[in-house]
Structure 1
Amino acid sequence: MELKIQPIGNSYSEQAIDLILNIQQKEFNIPITIQDQPDLTEIEHFYHERGGNFWGAFIEGELVGSIALVKFDERAGAIRKMFVKKEFRGKELNIAQALLEVLISFCHENQIDDLYLGTITVLKAAQRFYERNHFVRIEKEKLPSRFPLMSADDIFYHLSIH
């Protein structure tokens, strides 16, 4: 199985919504709807036009993972939409790691020095993943004022990447 990671735009909205909502609602019972995430129907406007990006991980043409970067300041970005389909998670394929590395390379190329993200208490594996990748847990009050908060998030991380 060959993994291919590439930037995606609005033409992939439906596949991205399918992937992400399934994980949020069915797997983790997070009470979130597509109405709460208008960025998924306007990927290019929310991510690309503002200096960020949105990547999809594909195996044999199927979208199995995603990660996005919202650029919210001159040299700062927020990680969003980091999801990998359950049956494609784990060390063999290492999709989450590959997605994060693509995003960090993009940050280096685009002079983005600080990465922030919010996640949810129930997503324990996500927290371990970010901590393994040197993200440091911070208090909500320490987030930059322009950080785009998601209402469900209650745990926050920062990574300095200069």
Structure 2
Amino acid sequence: MSEIEIRPFAAPDIDGVFSVILPIQRDEFGFAITADDQPDLQVIPDFYQSGKGQFWVAELDGVIVGTIGLKDIGNNRAALRKMFVAAPVRGPRYGVAARLLDTLFTHAKAHGILEIFLGTTDRFLAAHRFYEKNGFTEIKRGDLPRSFPLMAVDNKFYRREV
């Protein structure tokens, strides 16, 4: 079996990032969303790879199969965003989601992040179970920091101490 590599995003990865994220958003979950609707992905270095943030990709045989972003929102807090894993590599066989999240937690701890927040949609049921299994607890929208970058589709929110 080939090895999954988790590494920081680099500019040549942008097409691969969209090739993972857009089909999941549109085909699996029926969101009418385009690349242009996600300006954060047009400027990953500026949006994610600044302050204490970072953006990682999971790669298998030269193809990007997963993504995760950590957005620095100030006060040693961060937002987890854009966690997507391509369907063929989901689950325990490859462990892509777990490895992406472990990479994010290791980075957050090393950079003094104390709390991580995330927003998701109520449609992503498997994601809810995954986040809860990994120490996230559901919170109300009103409990988010004011600096949290809300997405229009988000209606379920989580918090985890690092």
Shorter chain as normaliser: what TM range? Answer: over 0.9
Tell me if 1:14 matches 2:35. Answer: no
Structure 1 runs (4+) greater than 2 angstroms displaced: none
SS across alignment from 2:135:
coil
Amino acid in structure 1 at the alignment position of 2:92: K
Percent of pairs identical after alignment? 39
**Cα distance, 1:14 vs structure 2:** 1.3
Would the aligned equivalents of 2:52 and 2:108 in 1 still touch at CA under 8 Å?
A: no
- Gap regions ≥5 residues in structure 2: none
Would the aligned equivalents of 1:28 and 1:122 in 2 still touch at CA under 8 Å?
A: yes
Would the aligned equivalents of 1:69 and 1:79 in 2 still touch at CA under 8 Å?
A: yes
Would the aligned equivalents of 1:39 and 1:46 in 2 still touch at CA under 8 Å?
A: yes
**Cα distance, 1:99 vs structure 2:** 0.2
The Cα RMSD (Å) is: 0.9
**1:131-162 Cα shifts (integer Å, max 9, x gaps):** 0011000000110111111111000000011x
Tell me if 1:99 matches 2:136. Answer: no
Would the aligned equivalents of 1:114 and 1:159 in 2 still touch at CA under 8 Å?
A: yes
Would the aligned equivalents of 2:9 and 2:55 in 1 still touch at CA under 8 Å?
A: yes
**Cα distance, 1:41 vs structure 2:** 1.5
SS across alignment from 1:148:
coil
CA distance in 2, matches of 1:85, 1:77: 24
